[in-house]
Amino acid sequence: MRHFAELINALETTNKTNAKIDAIIDYLERAPDEDKVWFIALFTGKRPKRNVNTNYMKEWALEITQLPYWLFQESYSSVGDLGETLSLILPPPQEKIERTLSEWMHDIAGLKGKSDAEKKDFVLRTWNGLDYTERLIFNKLIGGSFRIGVSDKTLINALTKFSGQESSALMHSLMGKWLPEEVSFKELIDAENVNPDNSKPYPFCLAYPLEKETEELGNPDEWLVEYKWDGIRGQIIRRNDEVFIWSRGEELVTEQFPEIAEAVQAMKGSFVIDGEILAVKDGKVLNFNELQKRLNRKTLTKKMLSEIPIEVFVYDLLELEDHDLREKPISARRALLEELLLNQNPERMSISKSLDFEKWEELNVLRENSRDINSEGLMLKQKNSPYHSGRKKGDWWKWKINPLTIDAVLIYAQKGSGRRSAYYTDYTFAVKNGESLVTIAKAYSGLTDKEIMEVSRFVTKNAIEKFGPVRTVKAELVFEIAFEGIGFSNRHKSGVALRFPRIVRWRKDKTVDEIDDLEEIKKLIQ
């Protein structure tokens, strides 16, 4: 655990990618293989389930420290993270526990089914044997909240540099279904005997935002252009009569889309298709908010299946009859895809339309009007491009429409975590609703460090109420909020939900009287 704590500390104290990679390699050179497997598991989102109620952990810490509850709440409000707060208020350890990361993970998993008294005894003994950083990591692991600011690309680059393996092979190896208790580090790194089941997906090919004028891309005849749909990117896999659907977030979502699984099951052969899962009714793509109602539900009622039907707009074929097609040009892959769908004519699956154009300027109108059909813009793909693992500049571009924007006022603020724990960085914004204000969005990005410090000073001086770590502030600061889409929502007080809201700029030139009105905002919904 000590080496793992040193790694986390090194990663949290730098924003430089190369420094993060060097820290990971240093850890891999020192850690035993069992710990390396758990390191990869934790950094790829395979966190253990929470087996200890965090409210109990708070109570146990208060018993030890004898702090009054109000003082703990003030400390929690200031720090902004429960695991970190507990680590800070606990007294210094009276002994030193030296255990490997894999041993800790085994013990944490073993708490399932234990009594509350047994869990308390384990947690208190652990707290008494770990220093601050180790306690913090332990608290996050046992509380199920372990997250680290390292991208998949940085992790893969570090593993590539450490092992000498191809990055595509490593990425392929780490995706899919594997458990840290059942696989060795060598198997993961060598990409052997990993994902032997039929469900193994491929790393997704990703696009860069278009950074140049379309005319700079060359001959229009060399490009395939289609709409960029706002749904769930997915790989639909059919191998040995089994069907699996993977999201781009590496989640197995087959059960969430039973109608797609049923349609693919009725097909013949073996294949892996890349496409966009969308809510489509009467031939019209529905707003993303409708699709969102279907996500992460334990049960899907007949009513929901009927009211929010699902289709897949497919645009690539990665594998056919056990042959990897990714090195073939997309023009060839698409021809095979069209043949596959034409021969079998599956339900709920159709080819994403290829847009006809002769000159680049013809795409401007199509792009500008794409929001009318609930599209985000256009995808531009070089016809000779292979299916890369991850991003490669030059082959695939996403040309999104400009975001929608509104002016809203800050009414709630909360401190961030980690390096931002001293500043108010999490904001809730409101718009007019008649004579009152109604919350419409939360946003966490878009301001400079200098602006964050300035907003924090305002919140400190102008806080009206406290609700745990949240502060209600005077409705004075106006910001321009950008978002990709908007839809009706019963879960939000305003009745609408914004897609990917973020701060564009601080409108110091505007007052709260000039913010947008909810009824006008609703008119943006298609």
Per-residue confidence (pLDDT) for residue 77, from 0 to 100: 72
Q: Which of 46-60, 87-101, 113-127, 326-340 holds the top average pLDDT? A: 326-340
pLDDT band at 363 (very low <50, low <70, confident <90, very high): very high
Burial of 345 (0-12, 13-18, 19+ CB in 10 A): exposed
Count of positions (residues) in the chain: 526
pLDDT at 257: 94
Among the ranges given (262-271, 293-302, 469-478), the one the predictor scored with the smallest mean pLDDT: 293-302
Model confidence pLDDT, tens digit, residues 431-470: 999 889 999 999 988 888 899 999 999 999 999 988 878 8
Average pLDDT in the chain: 87
Binned at pLDDT 50, 70 and 90, residue 526 comes out as: low
List the single range of 139-148, 394-403, 439-448 with lowest mean pLDDT: 139-148
Query: How does DSSP classify residue 402?
Result: P
Domains of the chain, earliest start first: 2-142 (1.10.3260.10), 205-400 (3.30.470.30), 404-522 (2.40.50.140)
Check residue 108 and give its pLDDT. Answer: 84
CA 271 – CA 319 distance, rounded (Å): 5
| pLDDT, greater one: 50 or 472 | 472
State residue 176's pLDDT score: 61
Q: Are 468 and 77 contacting, i.e. CB atoms less than 8 angstroms apart?
A: yes
Would the pLDDT of 189 be above 60? yes
Mean pLDDT computed over 290-302: 83
Give phi and psi for 420, each to the nearest 5.
Answer: -100, 10
Distance CA 13, CA 31 (A): 21
Of 183-197, 244-258, 328-342, 400-414, least confident by mean pLDDT is 183-197
d(C-alpha 213, C-alpha 380), whole Å: 12
* pLDDT tens track for 114-128: 888 988 998 899 898
Rounded to whole angstroms, the Cα distance separating 357 from 361 reads 9
Copy the structure tokens of residue 459. Answer: 């919140």
pLDDT category of residue 419 using cuts at 50, 70 and 90: low
Q: What is residue 194's predicted lDDT score, i.e. its pLDDT?
A: 46
What does the pLDDT read at residue 405?
92
pLDDT value for 40: 87
Annotated catalytic, 228? yes
Tell me the backbone φ, ψ of residue 249, rounded to 5 degrees: -80, 15
- Whole-model pTM: value is 0.64
Catalytic option among 20, 119, 228, 328: 228
Mean pLDDT within 16-32: 88
Rounded-to-integer distance, Cα 255 and Cα 250, Å:
14
Q: Tens of pLDDT along 68-121?
A: 888 888 888 777 678 788 888 889 989 888 888 888 888 888 888 888 898 899
Calpha distance 33→48 (Å, rounded): 19
Asked if residue 395 lies in contact with residue 425, where contact means CB atoms within 8 angstroms, the answer is: no
First to last CA, the chain: 52
Average of per-residue pLDDT across 38-48:
80
Whether 168 has a pLDDT exceeding 80, the answer reads no
Please check the confidence at residue 191 and state whether its pLDDT lies above 70: no
Give the Cα separation of 166 and 161 in Å (integer). Answer: 9
- On the question of pLDDT at 10 being above 90, the answer is no
Strands 205-206, 390-391: pairing kind: parallel
Higher pLDDT, residue 213 or 5? 213
> What pLDDT digit, counting tens, does each position of 348-359 carry?
999 999 999 999
Residues 469 and 454: their CA atoms lie apart, in Å, by 19
